[in-house]
Structure 1
Amino acid sequence: MNYDTFVDQVAQRTATSSSRAVELIRATLETLAERLTGGEVLDLAVQLPAPLRLPMRPTPDIEAAERFGAAEFVARVALRAGVGEPAARDAVRAVFTTLREAVTGGEFDELVVQLPRDYRDMVEPALAPGATLRRG
């Protein structure tokens, strides 16, 4: 999936502009990079369009994943993107769904197994049949 398509999918799923979608994507990916191990971050990043790799770049001091739950994940995304938590939760769902479509080889499933059970309501929409956005 190319960058423009990724951004368009998130914009449509969140009913926002492309520029706002870019902010939501960046905030979600930066937070996800904190939550995953450095190796998993790199595995995911190499499958993303180049402009989306930067927020996924782990630093040497964060090889280990930070342990925080879904509520903290949403709070961090909300703070980074300057939106309320309900909008941040919707954005996270949209980005996860789009990530699932953008990556191959079971990479999204490998990402999901690193997340605790309380992430389920944000991840399950991405796993559901028919989660793919249909263009009319």
Structure 2
Amino acid sequence: MQHDEFIGKVQNQADLANRGEAEQATRVTLETLAEHLPDGLARNLAGQLPTEIGEHLERASGSGSGEAGAERFGLREFVDRVGERAGVQRAGAEQSVRAVCAVVGEAVNEPELEKVRGVLPDDLRSLLPRQR
């Protein structure tokens, strides 16, 4: 999947007004997701995404947290962080988070998604759909 296709899908699925909003939603969602992931896993996930998209994961994971530094917080906190970073209300943030995660689920192979699901709290696992 290419960058423009990824952003277009996020914009459509989240019902965002423009590509700029879709870019922002993608950036803050992936930066927040990276806080949950060990650095190596974030880099592996980033490697399966378009370069410009994957950079959001790599940049956030490169904060020196290392393999054991991944944070643990649930869906509510995840959505709240995304909303705060994007400057949007909770409902909009949740819609954007779900859209970005759905498009990540389309772009990444199932074995890599399973590794990511394996380190997420139960309520966040459902954000990454299973491929069919």
The 8 Å contact of residues 29 and 82 in structure 2, kept in 1 or not, is answered as: yes
Which residue of structure 1 aligns with residue 65 of structure 2? 62
1:1-136, aligned counterparts within 5 Å? Answer: 1-16=1-16, 17-57=18-58, 58-59=61-62, 61-63=64-66, 64-123=69-128, 126-127=129-130
- Stretches of structure 2 that go unaligned for 5 or more consecutive residues are none
* 1:54 Cα offset (Å): 2.1
* 1:121 Cα offset (Å): 4.9
The 8 Å contact of residues 97 and 127 in structure 1, kept in 2 or not, is answered as: no
Instruction: Give the SS at the match of 1:35.
Output: coil
Shift in CA distance, 19/116, structure 1 to aligned 2, threshold 3 Å: same
Instruction: Give the SS at the match of 2:124.
Output: helix
Task: Using the aligned pairs only, state the percent identity.
Answer: 37
The 8 Å contact of residues 10 and 95 in structure 1, kept in 2 or not, is answered as: yes
Letter of the aligned partner of 1:78 in structure 2? G
Shift in CA distance, 88/60, structure 1 to aligned 2, threshold 3 Å: closer
* 1:60 Cα offset (Å): 5.1
TM-score for the superposition, normalised by structure 1:
0.86
- Stretches of structure 1 that go unaligned for 5 or more consecutive residues are 130-136
* 1:122 Cα offset (Å): 3.2
Q: 1:29-85: per-residue Cα shift (whole Å, max 9, x none)?
A: 000111111111011011111111221112252122111111111111001111111
* 1:105 Cα offset (Å): 4.9
